Amino acid sequence: MMPCNESFVLEPGRIPDLEAWLVRNGADAFLSSPGFAGETRCLCGLEPLDELVVREDTAREQLKGFAFSGPGPCLGFLSYDYGMLLRGIGTQKQSGFPLGHLRKYALLVEHDCVSGAVSVSGRDSEQVRRTARILSEPGPQRHPGFFPDLGQPVASMDRPSYEHGVRGTLERIRQGWTYQLNLSTRLGWACDCAAHDPAELFLALHASHGAPFYAHFSSGQYRILSTSPELFVRVRNGRVLSRPIKGTLAVPGERVYSVADVDPELVRALTESEKECAELSMIVDLMRNDISANCEYGSVRVENHRSVFVVDNLLQMHADVRGTLCAGRDCLDLFLDAFPGGSVTGCPKASSMRIIDELEPHARGMFCGSLVIIEDERTMDSSIAIRTAVADTKGGTLDYWAGSGIVIDSCPAREYRETMAKAAKFFGAAAKRGSA
């Protein structure tokens, strides 16, 4: 715990103003929308005190030494490319994106979107009191996000290429190298970040498309804009939860926010689809194995299999995989032994990752990595970085990735449509004006 703390309550309607102030003032912001499966805490870090930029030779003990040192949580990310190193997957692709980045802060702001409760904590009591006073005073109302039109993106795999990749995946499934594989394309825009502030895109998306794992994190010249619906692994006092998502169905027509608003026939079409259920079961089995390495024998179990929620006007199917962390093991042991998440690799994991590197012409970088909040050895929250964009403020680009899980009965055309449905949120925000 941080030694100094000031708390106050805002009208819940003022919470978006608070979040906008924090993001626009350079906070690393981890935000959650209430009411979604996986909903978590809203925590923002200001005034970085220390940081660890992860490199190829960064050892597990260095990560632990940084994350578990001193008071206060550690915020940051590990990229998919770091996961490739962990799994021993080589690549010839060059990427300037960091393998990972963790930070500790002088000031932390935590808030509850429903109750309006806000706490400011830090090591300097005067700094904490001053920040709490600024945040509690009425300020300008948050204006709608404004993100100028970027036009059409360039895809690393256009429709013919993506469908060709699906057919290539099916061939490898028949040969026995994989039995499910997540194939993605990268959509890239030229983006002058002086005229197209990534923070405004993030705020516009957060205002209009709720999801449990929003994050805005700065790493050198890069800005990460994550709007993920998927929990990777959560550890609370040693109790472990992973919630893999597999099975997606677009909801046609008007925007819907809950399963109760969706035609039951549509829900049934998803939860009774042999293909979609097979996708989910394969990944659930993989996650059971992945977390079992660090959980007490006999504690790992599956609950709520084939549950459904709505996010981004997509029906998403998931299951809960639970366990109890072994004595003598910590949340980073669990994370690193299971990373990257099976839902974004496929299975078997290592073989699928090798095929992904062969079929995809782009590096994944942040996409399919994870954003993390690490509290202590037995308390952590982490998402899977899907529905995530990266702005390169020096290179003048905005990149977004989307993909789908391929199994033996996949149809190339349908997989491409699913991929584009997952990209619709960013497509819309980046191609229209005044998207909030």
Question: pLDDT digit string (tens) for 378-428?
Answer: 999 999 999 999 999 999 999 999 999 999 999 999 999 999 988 888 877
Decide yes or no: CATH 3.40.50.720 for domain 4-238+325-344+361-432.
Answer: no
Residue 248 pairs in a beta bridge with 316
State the span(s) of the chain assigned CATH 3.60.120.10: 4-238+325-344+361-432
Instruction: Determine the Cα–Cα distance for residues 300 and 285; give it in Å rounded to an integer.
Output: 11
Give the total residue count for the chain: 436
CA distances from 35 to 78, 128, 211, 215 (A): 27, 30, 9, 17
**pLDDT tops 60 at residue 435:** no
Q: Is 11 exposed, middle or buried (0-12, 13-18, 19+ CB in 10 A)?
A: exposed
Q: What is the pLDDT of residue 152?
A: 86
Mean of per-residue pLDDT scores for the chain: 93
Amino acid at the residue 380: M
Q: Could you give the 3-state DSSP secondary structure of residue 58?
A: coil
* Residue that the structure tokens 């549950």 belong to: 307
Q: Is 126 exposed, middle or buried (0-12, 13-18, 19+ CB in 10 A)?
A: exposed
Per-residue pLDDT tens over the stretch 316-356: 999 999 999 999 999 999 999 999 999 999 999 999 999 99
DSSP run (H or E) holding 279: helix 274-292
* CA-based nearest residue to 338, from 299, 382, 296: 382
Of 429 and 189, more confident: 189
Q: Any idea which of 13-22, 72-81, 187-196, 328-337 has the lowest mean pLDDT?
A: 187-196
DSSP run (H or E) holding 198: helix 198-208
**pLDDT tops 80 at residue 144:** no
* Residue that the structure tokens 């206060």 belong to: 72
**Are 290 and 216 a contacting pair, CB within 8 Å?**
no
Per-residue pLDDT tens over the stretch 90-127: 999 988 999 999 999 999 999 999 999 999 999 899 99
Instruction: Determine the Cα–Cα distance for residues 284 and 204; give it in Å rounded to an integer.
Output: 33
**Are 26 and 46 a contacting pair, CB within 8 Å?**
yes
**pLDDT tops 50 at residue 436:** no
DSSP run (H or E) holding 429: helix 412-431
Q: What is the pLDDT of residue 323?
A: 98
